[in-house]
Structure formats: structure tokens, C-alpha cells
Structure 1
């Protein structure tokens, strides 16, 4: 029992000081155990690093890691690369910059590296491989985890109209993608009307710099890492052709706009014309025409645009792709909807581009 208030306060401060010292001691002991277990003599940079990647998004991180080998900060000591095939941007960059390249799965990893980095690699890493890296394997993921776990977070960010996204540096766990503890995270506002390609380029640059920042203080960040919760978790599956079909009576102008900005550069939007598939190209946004039956068409001669009626308005396209060229004459057009097939007449002029 405390004899007075002063003694109680002093004793509490001593206890807090001892508690802080114990925590720091435990953190140092953990790092030392890693060093003894894996035979590494350093608890900080420069790191011996193995990079796993494939596409242009991954190249941005690899570029910064490569340049860090000769920087005064000394973040990277050695750098090697693992790729899935010969025809990917990461392998081309590695060869052009004389980086050692290994095929998948990598061999001779034991004792060769301190930490691994995965960026847009597309393969689940086995626990045996992860355990060969004293400081684990990091992943640069272009979303604010746990939102948009999975292979296509940028596309789903645009498709669902997110106003804010970001980049997460997490530690890879075996068995499941994108569920490991978070080491670093940074927000990024989504610019209005930006495409998935534009957003991807911005996040690739931000992710590369966030990776360097994480590697600079990696030991400390590993101690302070936080586990992901399931609250707010969403999944971002790969994009595919089934996402590109128009359902005119269900989709709004804004939904079509977001869909085009998300996948249009890789998968054209599609609809049915006279029983045949056509691809809708060069989207121009909402057209100001009186509302009609979804699936109806109207050629806007003053702006050289083919307008199509959807759930809440009209959207326009400058070109469509067909198997044969359309002539400049009135045509009977049918656009398939879920409930029925709508008919209308419209004039096609030479100004509207059709491709064979």
C-alpha cells in the first residue's frame, strides 16, 4: 500500500521506465535471434536483395532499387532478379542494367539474401522460400489494404469510383495473397476522370519511393508492423472479357464511364448489333439528349459521335469495331438488352469511323 501520493507517482514513473527498457531489450533480442539464425551480420542496410517482378508497374521499384546500389545512402548492397518468362519488362530492364536474373522458382537462395521484394509477380510464394530470407519478403501493393486485396486493385479502384487509394508495403505470408502485416502505407487521391493506366503509373512511382523508405528503417518497421483486420476488406479479381459487356437498361452513364476508364485500354466495351458483337471505342462521355429506351442509338452529326441510350442518359463513342465496314446510309440497328431487343433508325455518315 502506498504511503503517500508522491511515492506512488515516483514508483509509477520507475515502473514505466523499466517497462520501456524491457520492450527495447526484447526488440534487440528479436533482431539478434534473426541474425544468429540466418547468419547475417547486419541488422540494417545495405541489404542483399532478391527482387520478384514482371510488368511495368514492377519496373519502377526495380529502377529505384538498382539506382540505390550506388547511392550515398547505401540501401542496397546486392540485387538479383527473379522473373516468370523471358518476355516481360522486368527481365528486359534487368538485362539492360546487367542485373543477375534467375528463373522461377529460384535456386541457391540459402544464405545469399537478407530480404526479398515482390511487385506484380503473380505467384504465391511457398513458406519454405519465405523462411530463407532473414527479414522476410516485402510486397508493394497498389491499394490501401485490406481494401482491394487481389491481382487487379487499380482497375477496381477506378471501376468502383474510389476517391482515395494508396500504396501498402506489407510482409508476404504463405498460403494467401495480400493478408500479411502492414509495414508502411501512404494515401493517394484518385484524380477525377483518370484512367487505370494513369493511376497505375502514379502508384508505381509512389510505391517505389515508399519501398525505399521502408527498407531504410526495415528492422524498426518489422517490430512495429500491424496485422491486417478483416473490416473493410474487399477482393479485386482479374479483369476479363465478361466485364466488358454493356447491359444498357442496368448501367448508368457514370458506371459506363468508370468501366471504360478502368478496362478500356485493355478490353474494349462490347454490345450486340444485328446479332453480332461490336466493340465500342473512343468513349467521349455523356451526351445531352432526351431520354429514350435503353439500347437506342442516335448519330450526332455536329460532334461526329454515335450516342447510345443507357439507364439514365446517353453515352457517346467516336468509333466502333466491326467485321465489315458500314456504308453511309440509314440502317436498321438492334442493340441487345436483357429484357428485349430494341429497334431504331439512324444515319451513318462518312465522318463516323468504322473498322473492318
Structure 2
């Protein structure tokens, strides 16, 4: 989940982490590791917790500092910053929201030797090792070579997909959208030459069809929390048995799997394409964007001075496929894609899909309004729609 800067412009003194796999670098057995953690959100939290446990319980970690992104709202704090500060950890916030180019770790000169607040375009400066290991989990910044050079043993990244499948910033979403039945959380080295291609240091597979009390495909929050918890365990194990972790490293190009990319997603990716989407795909959209953008559609409502009406975005909060044995399966099969019908006995909406199966919607949220039940939506909007349902 980390975008990696390519290695152009690196001096000969910079040693990529991959090169350390065959070097003599190893932790000092007489002391724990000094770690800098890079993270932001709920996925990052179990990994940070694992580092704190390693410090407090087995001594494999001696110290932890935390780097979090700068947010748009100066008064806001991301999940990791709040937790880290409450735990008494030293927290560093880069001076810009979109890049680490003009920022260096404390005590080290930033690129170009500036104070990090100007706009100079100086060459990155390598500062030499000041810490042992960097640990990254859902951070989002490019890790620049002048920052990577601060780590004696390199930087490792927790990536929630079965690499090399779903390399990129949104592997969780794309795992669900693709209908994958298995996935994994991987621990890889941060390679400065490309994106998510570092050597595989550890891997924990997961069968998505057998998660306890969880439907398939799993909702995004469930998949995220499950893989994050496992990722924290992988990190703690790796730091405790560092040399064994390095000995087990495997280049991804030797895994025999076809790489794929998981690009960043937006709310527009959550819009249901009713004209072409079968019911199973609508369900995957719903699960992939649950708790974030949510699956979305559009309706057209009457509006003053707009003869063609006003298009309103609608979030589909509760949704499932109409099963073959459902009492309303025959009715749903007759609906054209995107057409809405109210299933009064079961207090839900039926929506036609491209494969004549249909989905059932239990609650929704119209743009600018509070969430509502299917009953409330039917009473307030169904007769006012310009058209037969969702915009196709």
C-alpha cells in the first residue's frame, strides 16, 4: 500500500533493503530495535499495537517513534496520531500534505539542507543510519531515499493482499470487487526501485469463504480488521526473529503468480452500473465500499426550474442478492435493470439487475438527507421518481 520512489539519483552509499538480505546486517542481540512506524488509519492500528507489545513484553523493540501524515484540517488528528500521543510515543508530522520531498526525520537535514518549509528543489540528502527498522502500514506517502537511508536494517511494509496480486494503494477494495475467495497479508521489504515489488518476507493466507460469522464476500471493515490483526502478528514475529525472516525472503517474481494492480478508488467507483451489472457484482460493490463510500446509485427527482428534474446520489446501505428461493424472486426477475419495486410484505425495495436476478435493499440514504428505511424511501420518493427507478 506504499508508493515507492524509483532509485534514480541515489548515491553509491545508499543500500536498498533488498541488498541487506545477503549482508551481515543484523540486530544487536543485547538490545531491542529502534523502530519508526509510518501509519494513518484503522488498518495501521493493530500493527502499531503489536510494536508496543513487542517493546513492553519481549524486549525485541527498544523504542518506537511514529510518523503520521499532515491532514487538511490543522486541528484534526488521524487515528494513529491520537493513539500514539495518548500512549506517550513521539510523533512526527511532515510539513506538507502531499510529499516527503522537503522533510527529513528529526535531527537530520531535510533535502537540500533547508528547514523543510521552503520550496527549494535540492537533491535528497542521505543522513546515514539513525534507526534500526522502519515499519509501514497504510501510510500513503512516497518513502523517499533520503528517509530510507536513516534505517540500518531497512523498511518493511505490511500489505493486505496475496502479492503479487493487487499491488497498489487499494488492495482490500479490489480483492472484494474481484470476487477473490482467498487472499493473504504479506510482509515485504520496501524496494526503492518500484511499487510493492519488494522481496516477500512473510505471508499469512486467508480463506474468505470461511470467516466466522461473516458472509461472502466479506464487508470491507471485516476484511481490513482481520488482515490488519494478522499483519501485526507478522511484524512482531519478524522483528523477534529477524535473521530467520531474512533467510526466508523470496523475490516476488519467483512466486509464479501473475501480478495485478489495485489502483486508488473514489466514490465514483462505487456507483452501480445497472445496465450491465449482474446481482453478484452489485453485491460485491456493496461489500467493497461498506463503511467508506458505500455502494451508490442515482435517482432523478422533480425540481423547480429543471424540466428534466434533479439527479440525486443515493447510498445503498443494506443490500443483498435476491436468492433463488426468495418469495419475491419471480417479481425481481421481471424488473428491468435499475427498476425499483416496493416489496411491501418484507418491507424492502427490489431492484432489477442485468442478469434478471435482482437485489433487495433494506435501507438507503438520499444525498443531503439522513439514512432511511426502504419503507420510508418508498413513501417519500417512489411515486416522485422521474423514471422507473435508479438511473441506468
TM-score by length of 2: 0.71
After superposition, the Cα gap between the structure-2 partners of 1:289 and 1:134, relative to the gap in structure 1 and judged at 3 Å, is same
Q: What's the offset of the Cα at 1:29?
A: 8.7
Match in the other structure for 1:147: 165
Q: 2:82 aligns with which of 76, 88, 92?
A: 92
1:216 is the counterpart of 2:240: yes
Partner of 2:228: 204
> Which SS does the other structure have where 1:162 is aligned?
coil
**Aligned 8 A contact 1:289 1:314 in 2:** no
Aligned to 1:101: 91
Aligned equivalent of 2:349, options 306, 321, 335? 306
User: CA separation in 2, counterparts of 1:271 and 1:88?
Assistant: 29
TM-score (normalised: structure 1):
0.78
Distance 1:257 1:29 in 2: 46
1:162 counterpart residue number: 180
Contact 2:197 2:252 in 1 (8 A): yes
* Aligned counterpart for 1:133 among listed residues 151, 154, 157: 151
Provide the rounded CA distance (Å) in 1 between the counterparts of 2:226 and 2:89: 25
CA distance in 2, matches of 1:44, 1:226: 28
Aligned length: 304
**Structure with the largest fraction of strand:** 1
Output the CA distance in 2 between the equivalents of 1:329 and 1:165. Answer: 40
RMSD (CA atoms)? 2.5
Shift of the 44–249 alpha-carbon distance from structure 1 to 2, 3 Å rule, reads farther
**Is the CA contact (8 Å cut-off) linking 2:84 and 2:91 kept in structure 1?**
yes
Q: Secondary structure at the match of 2:252?
A: coil
- Is the counterpart of residue 121 in structure 1 residue 158 in structure 2? no
Gaps of 5+ in 1: 1-26, 36-40, 339-356
Residues of 2 paired with 1:243 and 1:263: CA distance?
9
CA apart distance, 1:175: 4.5
Cα distance, 1:122 vs structure 2:
0.3
Unaligned ranges ≥5, structure 2? 1-19, 71-75, 95-102, 109-127, 301-308, 323-328, 370-376
Post-superposition Cα deviations, 1:263-314, rounded to whole Å, max 9, x if no partner, equal: 0321133333235123143333123134232222211001111111011211
Indicate the residue corresponding to 1:289 in structure 2: 330
Q: Counterpart of 2:278?
A: 252
Matches of 1:265 and 1:68, distance apart in 2: 31
Structure 1 contact 44–218 (Cα < 8 Å) conserved: no
**Equivalent residues of 2:299, 2:385 under 8 A apart:** no
Q: What CA distance in whole angstroms lies between the structure 1 residues aligned with 2:259 and 2:349?
A: 39
Structure 2 residue 296 is the aligned partner of structure 1 residue 270:
yes
Q: Which structure: larger Rg?
A: 1
Q: Which has the higher contact order (CA 8 A, sep 6+)?
A: 2
Question: Equivalents in 2 of 1:317, 1:273: separation in Å?
Answer: 15
